[in-house]
Structure 1
Amino acid sequence: MSFVQTVTLAPGASTGWHYHPGRVHVMVLSGTLTRTLHDGTVEVSEAGERLVEQAGPVYIHVGRNLGEEPVVLVATYDIPDGYPQAVAVAAPEWSR
């Protein structure tokens, strides 16, 4: 199942730690998205940039808006039928 969704993160907001059962293609429309990945890597994406979030529980991540303006994303989800778009998980031990 593929679908498109607009996601807005207010300043200071977080997606919470999660993973996707399928690949997600993201376009940052405005603001700055800061993602922390499963291995502790931090990726920063500015307005106009694209990113791909890989599928599966080994690719847990959290997205945060550390800026002062809303982060607006357009995400195209390619999720297998019968699965949720995202699965919430506990933060990794190293991040606590």
Structure 2
Amino acid sequence: MLSRGPELYREYCERPIGAHSPNLQFVLQHFRKAPCAGKYVLVAVVPHRRWRLAKLTGRRGDPVRVEDEVEYTDLADAERHVYRLRWKALCGEELETS
């Protein structure tokens, strides 16, 4: 599956939200099942307009740790960035963005 990482990422980039191939669904399920501590998420700063990158603490009730320097105005770009971060956390390698 690691060797297919760039191919799956390209598929995700084309359609970050919606139906995905079985292989991409498999990867996304693993992203979702990963332990919460340290997992990257998006926080809406202005609903439907601006989002910030944040990390979960893994402890129920604790606030997320917002990374103030990373903000997005395009949800699809934000989702793609989180995909790359979660891929690196899960697989230990970075994905090429081009």
TM-score (norm: length of structure 2): 0.25
Greater relative contact order (Cα 8 A, min sep 6): structure 1 or 2?
Answer: 1
TM-score (norm: length of structure 1): 0.25
Structure showing greater Rg: 2
Greater fraction strand: 1
